[in-house]
Structure 1
């Protein structure tokens, strides 16, 4: 049965550190699947490569929703003034985001200066195309000029930072309702949000338009209940609740299995189609979809059941809280090369992705932790 969790006396919530660890490792692991799902060229093992890319890729979809749920669990309702909240939150992510976006976009040009073969860029960035292979400063500057508008194919993971800044802008507004809404009202909001989780499939398989949306209007009836704000509220609501081990077993496990089956089978079906577009490829991997929510909720609730008694492990988890944003900023430089390393070491394909993830995650965390130890709080301006 569900029950309300008593608030901890300490401001530090260890189980949320565990959720953060799960989310952080999963996102690194997710990016280690890119060299599998977007394998450049041919290989006699291409079938196995694609299978494991899809199998792990589907398994890891809760990564981003977990991050958003952590944000909702920690920040809703917002207790600070809007001005102080924006200054504290947005400035901390904006400058590292800008610095690392520039560095990622300059990378191909720097490899050209160093005499590195263009094909090596594909080991780092599986999405990159012909323009990047030119290793031209002009191309890099073009991508940098586009940063105010969107991420580039060299900094794909930065899509989340645009989203995060948007959520921060929205949080004080949403918080005013959350602070006064009853539990019943919050559940009704989540129910309407649940309906919107089916819209990606309706739009793909039935009709592009629904509930008043049309060629001159993109904002349908449930538009304001859709998107990642549902994960914000879900994190806030589930922070106050707990599932027993019995409920995790009888409800959580089947939820995850059903969500995973739909995600994996749907992805494999779409990628097998000869005319599969980018939108079709990502359809069943969409974070704001019912199948991904079915996977995310049990993971979140399971992390709440993990007890940490070791003081050393608690300090490590707290350190990840400090270093987590920096790890996110830099890890994409290491995911591709880590996969290349696993292939060079002839690691079995079935475990290359998790092994590469351990390397990429470990190296990223170590570098960020060292930066904090050497430069102290000044590190925040570069690594968040």
Structure 2
């Protein structure tokens, strides 16, 4: 797929491949902290360093979506051809891996393994080895992911973006730069909605018990990141490194501080709701945008002349979707190996991130090299 291989109109864009490397590293890092902070939230030491490390990694999903917008907007194919090509290449690996994850507990039971092994792989899952539980999770796949396949939440989002892009493209194709800026400004305002609803009023701009579609609903969500990626790649901002550093570093630092200290202030109070705990980690929020945009712009300015770096970027870029799908199989074992090392908690999380990414990347690379079936399995 073009958005997975860093190609646009047949021409490779290496810096977008490298953005995808940054994004997949961040995503792996977030999930490595999941094995520290959720299960051991009562331990302030673990919580501190898990929060400190995880807060750096919130741009992961926005970066992926911006790359998709940069490569695919506006959609040039007929809508049926676009859906057939893009959705098929998402749907097949999504179904395969969803089935595998949801059958995993039942398979461990068939092998006579203890139910506790389930939580060694999936920290938040119910250790139920019954076939009925597996079949229930499988039956729910058309509606949502299970705790055995948490990372699949993004695939539902990506499918939705693909369904939306041909329609959105009709506007993007004819919209002027000014009109795109207006959309992005309104989208930016919408990023404050989670905080306004939490700290000002639950019912905001027309939302109420009988209406969840408020004033800026039609400008909100990940479609803003799609358009932002398209806008940046098609409208060179021509910022010097000095200007980018002067604006980008403060933007990232401020966004990070809001994310980290906001998250810590919430988790410092026991018994908070899941929604409140995740509030400052929300991807569609101003603080995460403030971290994401400087990374995207800085990577755009890098000239990748090294053949080694170019090959590395291309290789991992083509494997990112497979890494996304399969890495949870290796997360628990990798974490347990690293946990036994006599290292600082922060260092353990970094080592776990590099270890997990390397193992999963190698696995995906081998499977993809096995032939057409391997590429269908990994996407």
TM-score (structure 2 length as normaliser): 0.94
The answer (yes or no) to whether the contact 1:40–1:126 under 8 Å persists in 2 is: no
The Cα shift of 1:10 comes to 6.5
Q: How much is the aligned-residue C-alpha RMSD, in angstroms? A: 1.7
In structure 1, what is the Cα distance between the partners aligned to 2:337 and 2:156?
Answer: 31
The Cα shift of 1:362 comes to 0.8
The answer (yes or no) to whether the contact 2:41–2:47 under 8 Å persists in 1 is: no
- Say whether 1:115 aligns with 2:109: no
1:1-384 aligned at under 5 Å gives the runs 11-40=11-40, 46-128=43-125, 132-240=126-234, 241-242=236-237, 243-375=239-371, 377-384=372-379
In structure 1, what is the Cα distance between the partners aligned to 2:240 and 2:329?
Answer: 40
In structure 1, what is the Cα distance between the partners aligned to 2:375 and 2:84?
Answer: 14
In structure 1, what is the Cα distance between the partners aligned to 2:98 and 2:34?
Answer: 19
In structure 2, what is the Cα distance between the partners aligned to 1:293 and 1:357?
Answer: 23
Report how many residues are paired.
371
| Deviation by residue 1:232-270 (Cα, 9 ceiling, x = unmatched) | 001111113243211221100000000000000111111
In structure 1, what is the Cα distance between the partners aligned to 2:165 and 2:80?
Answer: 12
SS in 1 for 2:11: coil
The answer (yes or no) to whether the contact 1:267–1:285 under 8 Å persists in 2 is: yes
| Deviation by residue 1:99-150 (Cα, 9 ceiling, x = unmatched) | 101111111122222233323322321222xxx2132221111111100000
In structure 2, what is the Cα distance between the partners aligned to 1:263 and 1:105?
Answer: 33
Moved runs in structure 1, 4+ residues, more than 3 A? none
Structure 1 portions without partners, runs of 5+: 1-7
Using a 3 Å threshold, how does the CA distance of structure 1 residues 10 and 100 change in structure 2: closer, same or farther? closer
In structure 1, what is the Cα distance between the partners aligned to 2:111 and 2:143?
Answer: 30
| Deviation by residue 1:43-99 (Cα, 9 ceiling, x = unmatched) | xxx222111111111110000000000000000111111111111100001010011
SS in 1 for 2:173: helix
The answer (yes or no) to whether the contact 2:40–2:47 under 8 Å persists in 1 is: no
The answer (yes or no) to whether the contact 1:69–1:235 under 8 Å persists in 2 is: yes
Structure 2 portions without partners, runs of 5+: 1-7
The answer (yes or no) to whether the contact 1:335–1:357 under 8 Å persists in 2 is: no
| Deviation by residue 1:209-228 (Cα, 9 ceiling, x = unmatched) | 11111111111111000000
The answer (yes or no) to whether the contact 2:66–2:227 under 8 Å persists in 1 is: yes
The answer (yes or no) to whether the contact 1:20–1:321 under 8 Å persists in 2 is: yes
TM-score (structure 1 length as normaliser): 0.93
In structure 1, what is the Cα distance between the partners aligned to 2:342 and 2:111?
Answer: 28
In structure 2, what is the Cα distance between the partners aligned to 1:102 and 1:315?
Answer: 33
SS in 2 for 1:325: helix
In structure 2, what is the Cα distance between the partners aligned to 1:347 and 1:167?
Answer: 41
In structure 1, what is the Cα distance between the partners aligned to 2:113 and 2:28?
Answer: 25
- Which is worse superposed, 325-334 or 255-264? 325-334
The Cα shift of 1:30 comes to 0.8
The answer (yes or no) to whether the contact 1:71–1:232 under 8 Å persists in 2 is: yes
- Which is worse superposed, 90-99 or 241-250? 241-250
The Cα shift of 1:379 comes to 2.0
